[in-house]
């Protein structure tokens, strides 16, 4: 009797230790996977830089969809571009040798992204063209180690980012436009999975085991169902047994019906911009070059986002509880052109002063002033931040949403001293802005007020 009971205790104890040790086990279905709480670092990070880099930087024309527009859709302007710029019979594969990356300086990139205020960086490890920016053993020679740069681009950038404590995200396309195995599966109505089992899955596992990413930014999901991609099985492994199971964050592009419904945080569509506060953590991805994610040598200044629109987008996104992922496309040599550097650095300069209202903030009870979209709110505990885009001519900013109390205190980030305020006639408060030369302020646009003691 006694020994049986001891054995039972031992069994119970073992089970308890296993339970404490492992946390919940996720099963390969969306109900289970969707219930996983998002690791906290992601919501606090708020700002990321997206990097679209691949063989498409060689033609550097149109967009990173060059190959598809040229030989998938056969758009006449692409056929003409090829005839005019490359010898006859040039194939897309021929471009790989010219993807030299000989100016790629990962430590400089990491410095630049940190100065931009990015707390995470997402690199295309493989775009829809299928070229892998690391030495994938299942990619034949269609990768950056066997051809082109002859370097492990994914690994080198990861190491430089880690030295600066910047989180590392890996973009990965499930589909490959012209992979014969993928095309055969597609012909079979996605009833066979030869491509998934010999390419997609081995590469996803390889990426996780080699580079231990903080984030997997999945894409290229839209043609096949989750049963084809086997994505729930991969995510269950990622959350239960992978080396990054406690910290890794994923997005929502895991099957033709997944986006905006399943996965980790939601991207929904590219450049998604909700009009009201979403109930689920989300991220807005957008690109400084409004017409492309990959580098284009023919881009015009008027086609780029300017500093004000970048900051306005960021503020809008963060007040609605989103993260902001801003893209640059490096050249085939690995240069981030100075105009992109300038945009990134000006964002960072704004964040140096106003970041307190952005990083680790939460949406407030109101997201923007009712009558205007030029005043936005964020919060931290009982502190409310007001970010305003236009300096009122009167020098007095009227806010109707915060309700003042006798203890209300108003300050301005980057400016020392209290600001005067009074109760507005109807509701809210009237704040007298500092009457000083603009040069006093460290940044010349989008200022932040900090309110304490308001409801
Ligand atoms: C695909 O998913 C099935 C069902 O969850 C699983 O049994 C199998 O091991 C998975 N295969 C791969 C290669 O991930
Ligand atoms: C996608 O979801 C919609 C709505 O839930 C459903 O009607 C449709 O059948 C789904 N499509 C696929 C391919 O699963
Ligand atoms: C916002 O303005 C509209 C139209 O002026 C008004 O109907 C609505 O009640 C206002 N909402 C708030 C929260 O003040």
Residue having the nearest C-alpha atom to atom 10 of ligand 2: 257
pLDDT tens per residue, range 83-138: 999 999 999 999 999 999 999 999 999 999 999 999 999 999 999 999 999 999 99
Q: Which residues contact 19 (CB under 8 A, 6 or more apart)?
A: none
CATH of domain 30-357: 3.20.20.80
261 lines ligand 2 (CB under 6 A): no
Cα distance between residue 228 and residue 209, in whole Å: 23
For ligand 2, whether the C-beta of 243 sits within 6 Å is: no
How far, in Å, from the CA of 323 to the mean position of ligand 3?
27
| Residue 271, pLDDT score | 87
Pocket test for ligand 1, best of 206, 230, 238 (most atoms within 8 A of CB): 230
> Using a 6 Å cutoff on CB, does residue 256 contact ligand 2?
yes
- Cα distances (angstroms) measured from residue 404 to each of 355, 363, 375, 409, 441: 24, 19, 17, 9, 26
pLDDT at 1: 45
Q: Is 222 in the pocket of ligand 2 (CB under 6 A)?
A: no
User: Would you give per-residue pLDDT tens digits along the chain (455 residues)?
Assistant: 455 566 566 556 555 555 555 568 999 999 999 999 999 999 999 999 999 999 999 999 999 999 999 999 999 999 999 999 999 999 999 999 999 999 999 999 999 999 999 999 999 999 999 999 999 999 999 999 999 999 999 999 999 999 999 999 999 999 999 999 999 999 999 999 999 999 999 999 999 999 999 999 999 999 999 999 999 999 999 999 999 999 999 999 999 999 999 999 999 988 898 988 999 999 999 999 999 999 999 999 999 999 999 999 999 999 999 999 999 999 999 999 999 999 999 999 999 999 999 999 999 999 999 666 689 999 999 999 999 999 999 999 999 999 999 999 999 999 999 999 999 998 999 999 998 887 888 888 899 999 999 98
* Stretch(es) of the chain classified as CATH 2.60.40.1180: 369-452
Q: Considering only CA atoms, which residue is closest to atom 6 of ligand 2?
A: 257
Q: How many angstroms is it from 451 CA to the middle of ligand 3?
A: 22
Per-residue pLDDT at 190: 98
* Runs of H (alpha helix) within 241-359: 307-319, 338-354
Residues 197, 180: Cα–Cα separation, whole Å: 14
Residues in the chain: 455
Ligand minimally distant from the alpha carbon of residue 367: 3
CATH superfamily of 369-452: Golgi alpha-mannosidase II (2.60.40.1180)
Strands 47-51 and 120-126: parallel
Burial class from Cβ neighbours inside 10 Å (0-12, 13-18, 19+) for residue 18 reads exposed
Measured distance CA(171)–CA(51) in Å, rounded:
9
Over residues 373-390, the pLDDT tens digits come to: 689 999 999 999 999 999
* 230 CA to centre of ligand 1 in angstroms: 6
Q: Report the nearest-CA residue for atom 4 of ligand 2.
A: 257
Residues forming CATH 3.20.20.80 domain(s) in the chain: 30-357
Rounded to the nearest whole angstrom, what is the distance from the C-alpha of residue 30 to the centroid of ligand 2? Answer: 14
- Residue 440: the pLDDT is 82
Evaluate: CB of 225 within 6 angstroms of ligand 2. yes
* Ligand nearest to the CA of residue 224, numbered in listed order: 2
Task: Indicate the pTM of the whole model.
Answer: 0.92
Q: Is 201 in the pocket of ligand 1 (CB under 6 A)?
A: yes
């Amino acid at each position: 009797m006694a020994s049986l009971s001891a054995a039972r205790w031992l069994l119970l104890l073992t089970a308890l230790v296993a339970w404490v040790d492992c946390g919940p086990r996720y099963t390969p279905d969306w109900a289970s996977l969707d219930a996983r709480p998002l690791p906290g670092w992601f919501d606090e990070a708020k700002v990321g830089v997206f990097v679209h880099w691949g063989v498409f930087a060689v033609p550097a024309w149109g967009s990173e969809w060059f190959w598809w527009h040229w030989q998938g859709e056969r758009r006449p302007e692409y056929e003409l571009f090829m005839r005019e710029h490359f010898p006859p019979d040039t194939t897309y594969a021929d471009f790989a040798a010219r993807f030299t990356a000989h100016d790629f300086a990962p430590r400089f990139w990491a410095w630049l992204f940190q100065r931009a205020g990015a707390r995470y960086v997402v690199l295309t490890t493989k775009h829809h063209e299928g070229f892998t920016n690391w030495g994938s053993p299942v990619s034949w020679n269609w990768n950056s180690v066997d051809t082109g740069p002859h370097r492990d681009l994914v690994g080198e950038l990861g190491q430089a980012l880690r030295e600066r404590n910047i989180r590392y995200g890996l973009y990965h396309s499930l589909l490959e436009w012209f992979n014969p195995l993928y095309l055969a599966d597609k012909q079979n109505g996605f009833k066979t999975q030869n491509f998934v089992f010999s390419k997609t899955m081995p590469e996803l596992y390889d990426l996780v085991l080699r580079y231990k990413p903080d984030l997997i930014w999945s894409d290229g999901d839209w043609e096949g169902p989750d049963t084809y991609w086997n994505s729930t099985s991969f995510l269950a492994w990622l959350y239960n047994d992978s080396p990054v199971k406690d910290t890794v964050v994923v997005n929502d592009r895991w099957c033709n019906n997944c986006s905006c419904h399943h996965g980790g945080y939601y991207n929904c569509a590219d450049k998604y911009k909700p009009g009201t506060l979403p109930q689920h953590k989300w991220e807005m991805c957008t690109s400084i070059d409004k017409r492309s994610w990959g580098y284009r040598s023919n881009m015009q200044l008027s086609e780029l986002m300017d500093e004000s629109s970048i900051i306005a987008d960021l503020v809008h996104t963060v007040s609605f509880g989103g993260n902001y992922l801003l893209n640059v496309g490096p050249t085939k040599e690995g240069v981030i052109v100075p105009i992109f550097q300038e945009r990134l650095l000006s964002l960072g300069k704004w964040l140096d002063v106003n970041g307190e209202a952005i990083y680790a903030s939460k949406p407030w009870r109101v997201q923007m002033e009712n009558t205007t979209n030029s005043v936005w709110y964020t919060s931290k505990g009982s502190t409310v931040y007001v970010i305003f885009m236009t300096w009122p001519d009167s020098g007095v900013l009227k806010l109707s949403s915060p309700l003042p109390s006798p203890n209300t205190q108003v300050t301005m980030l980057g400016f020392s001293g209290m600001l005067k305020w009074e109760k507005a006639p109807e509701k809210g408060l009237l704040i007298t802005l500092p009457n000083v030369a603009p040069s006093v302020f460290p940044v010349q646009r989008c200022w932040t007020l900090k309110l304490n003691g308001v409801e």
